[in-house]
Amino acid sequence: MRRSEVHAAESVACLNRALHQLKDIWEEIGIPEDQRLQRTDVVKKHIKGLLDMMIAEEDSLRKRLMSSIESCRKELDVLCTELQLSPFEDEGRTMLQLEKDIRSRLEMMMKQKSQRVKDLKTLYKQDRELCDIMCSVPFCIDMDSVPSLDQLDSYHSYLNDLTKEKDRRHSEFVGMKRQIIVCMEELDQLPDTSFERDVVCEDEEAFCLSSDNITALQLLLGQLEDRKTENELVCSSYRAKIQELWERLQVPQEERACMSEHMVQSRTKNMDALQAECRRLEQLKIKNMSNVVEAIRAEVALLWEKCFYSLEQRQAFTPYYGDDYTEEMLNLHQEELLSLKKHYEDHRELFEGVTRWQDSWTLFLQLEKKATDPSRFNNRGGNLLKEEKQRAELQKSLPKLEKSLKTQIDLWEEEQYREFLVNGQRFLHYVQEQWELLRLEKEREKNERQLKKNQQIEQDMLYGTAQRTPSKRRLAETPTPGKARKLNATSSISSSTPNSTFRSAFGGTMCQSPVLRPPMSASKIPLRTPGRVGRTPHTVERNKENVSHLNGTALRTPASRCNITVNSVASTYSEFSVISLGHHLPLIGSLSLYTGS
């Protein structure tokens, strides 16, 4: 049971006790029945009036609550519609609680509406400022209605993006403004149009950052840069022409120094000065036509060398060999020079590769020539070892370079649909020809050495050997076992063939046997000592006979010609060692045939 019901029961009990007390008092007083009825009726009316008054007050409270709930509900529905929120739910609430909740919800939504309207006004103000700066269209939103949260978020994001775009455009405008000012200064140009004056002269914050203005700025900057680039190209061509004419006309350095400022900057005044200098030099060139043509011919000849032009290709340019120095000839030479420069630049990589091969080949030929020089064994300081090492490296690097160039040339010929020529022939044919020439030169030198060796042998057999003083005298030393064996072999051979000659591997001299033994057919002819210079007719006849006899021996056979003696020139250090220490015997053995032993 509720406490209110308990209180009501107590009120009824209290009223009953009061009526019983009144009844007891009336009986004790002795009030008649009719007066008791009157008095009871008064009590009834008094209690009923009090209760009616209380009921009326409570009923009035109920009506006020209902009226408040109704009015708040209507306002709440309107706000929910404006704020785009879900309707208020009143299920399971008492009237008093419902009125309190509705009123609280209404107050909260009124504050929310007020905040949204305030935010909308702030965003709208910011939007108007950005639109004025960027000349853009305001954000589409109804200012008379309460915006939703999504609308406010979209509006806020839009303004953030617009602010970033404004900052970007402003930064772009500032950068382009600086470039425009620099270009105008270099072009010696002042702002002509109102737009140019707004860009250059007005405050940066006052400039309208519309997309059209940014596009116009880009167009203006592009035009100025094009004019600047055009001026630079014109000035660059003037400078190149001036530099070329300076070199050809051999203008002194003092006159060139006067143009130092104009040779760097490319403003309008610089371009005018360069143009005037070009005209002056052209007039001077006409006066010195022959010198200019000869200077161009020197450049043409240099490019011919760089491009490996053959004699036929060079002779195809007939003006090069003329002596009529006219303007037409000068133009022809200039055209040829430009054509050669373009040809060289287009194929620079190939020409540089061929040049590297040519330099390496020249060095290789020099080292090959040194390798056949006997005097190189007397050099000190390790040059022989360095040269041999360098020659070995070139022997390895040249084929690799030729292979690399072959790949590049094949690719180039596929792209250009023509042959890559060096000195009028294909490069690989040229390389093969150089190797073949080297091989033929070696064969020729080898044949010459062999012929010289045979002639020397015949002369020695005819007139005897000549005593030569060694270039250096060796100190006395104990020979090594290898040397001892060679000495023993030499001494034994010398004793067995007293009339034979050989070159000592140790002293470098030509030695003669101490005893001359004539052939058996001339045993009765008296001998002469080798120290005497004069020769009798019998001796001459005997030597002629020996020579004729020698021509029929094994010394004239191909096998004997292939025998290498110390008289031959060694091409490498290893050949020199082998020749020095081991190849005496075939020669001495063949000479023994002459002595008859």
Percent of the chain with pLDDT over 90: 8
Question: Which of 307-311, 318-322, 360-364, 466-470 shows the lowest per-residue confidence on average (mean pLDDT)?
Answer: 466-470
For residue 376, what pLDDT band results from cuts at 50, 70 and 90? low
CA 490 to chain centre: 69
Average pLDDT over residues 124-142: 84
The model's pLDDT over 184-201, given as tens digits with 9 standing for 90+, comes to 888 888 888 888 888 888
Token readout for 313 is 């290709």
CA distance 96 to 58: 12
Average pLDDT over residues 439-453: 89
DSSP state of 466: P
Contact 311, 300 (CB under 8 A): no
What pLDDT does residue 271 have? 87
- Cβ contacts of 338-343, under 8 Å, gap ≥ 24: 340/300, 340/303, 340/304, 340/307, 341/303, 343/307
Nearest-CA neighbor of 151 among 161, 142, 160?
Answer: 142
Token readout for 231 is 């001026």
CA distance 535 to 512: 17
List the beta bridge partners of residue 502: 511
pLDDT at residue 332 tops 70: yes
For residue 286, what pLDDT band results from cuts at 50, 70 and 90? confident
- How many other C-beta atoms can be found within 10 angstroms of the C-beta atom of residue 350? 20
Token readout for 494 is 């010398």
DSSP state of 33: H
CA distance 223 to 242: 28
- How many other C-beta atoms can be found within 10 angstroms of the C-beta atom of residue 11? 11
Q: Is 267 exposed, middle or buried (0-12, 13-18, 19+ CB in 10 A)?
A: middle
CA distance 86 to 80: 6
Average pLDDT over residues 315-334: 87
What pLDDT does residue 451 have? 92
What pLDDT does residue 57 have? 93
Terminal-residue alpha carbon distance, the chain: 165
The model's pLDDT over 170-183, given as tens digits with 9 standing for 90+, comes to 898 889 888 888 88
For residue 256, what pLDDT band results from cuts at 50, 70 and 90? confident
Q: Is 436 exposed, middle or buried (0-12, 13-18, 19+ CB in 10 A)?
A: exposed
pLDDT at residue 588 tops 80: no
- How many other C-beta atoms can be found within 10 angstroms of the C-beta atom of residue 28? 8
What pLDDT does residue 571 have? 47
Contact 281, 246 (CB under 8 A): yes
What pLDDT does residue 52 have? 92
Contact 31, 42 (CB under 8 A): no
Angle at alpha carbon of residue 267, lines to 264 and 271, rounded to 5° = 80
Question: Which of 250-259, 402-411, 424-433, 545-554 shows the lowest per-residue confidence on average (mean pLDDT)?
Answer: 545-554
pLDDT at residue 469 tops 90: no
CA distance 248 to 59: 124
Contact 559, 593 (CB under 8 A): no
Element (H, E) at 422: strand 421-422
Token readout for 170 is 């402003």
- Mean pLDDT of all residues belonging to the chain: 75
CA distance 61 to 99: 12
Nearest-CA neighbor of 336 among 351, 311, 316, 353?
Answer: 316
Using DSSP bridges, classify how beta strands 425-426 and 501-503 pair: parallel, antiparallel or unpaired. Answer: unpaired
Contact 165, 211 (CB under 8 A): no
- Cβ contacts of 369-373, under 8 Å, gap ≥ 24: 371/571, 371/572, 372/445, 372/569, 372/571
Report the SS3 class of residue 501.
strand
What pLDDT does residue 301 have? 93
Token readout for 402 is 């030729």
What pLDDT does residue 60 have? 92
CA distance 561 to 556: 7
What pLDDT does residue 285 have? 81
Report the SS3 class of residue 279.
helix
Report the SS3 class of residue 464.
coil
CA distance 470 to 475: 13
| CB neighbour list of residue 497: distance below 8 Å, 6 or more residues apart | 513, 588, 591, 592, 595, 597
Average pLDDT over residues 258-281: 86
Place of tokens 């020698």: 550
- How many other C-beta atoms can be found within 10 angstroms of the C-beta atom of residue 439? 10
- Cβ contacts of 574-579, under 8 Å, gap ≥ 24: 576/377
What pLDDT does residue 1 have? 66
DSSP state of 377: G
What pLDDT does residue 496 have? 38
Report the SS3 class of residue 510.
strand
Average pLDDT over residues 210-224: 88
pLDDT at residue 101 tops 60: yes
Largest CA distance in the chain: 221
Determine the residue type at 274: L
pLDDT at residue 556 tops 70: no
Determine the residue type at 538: H
Per-position DSSP letters for 284-319, written without gaps between them: HHHHTHHHHHHHHHHHHHHHHHHTT--HHHHHT-GG
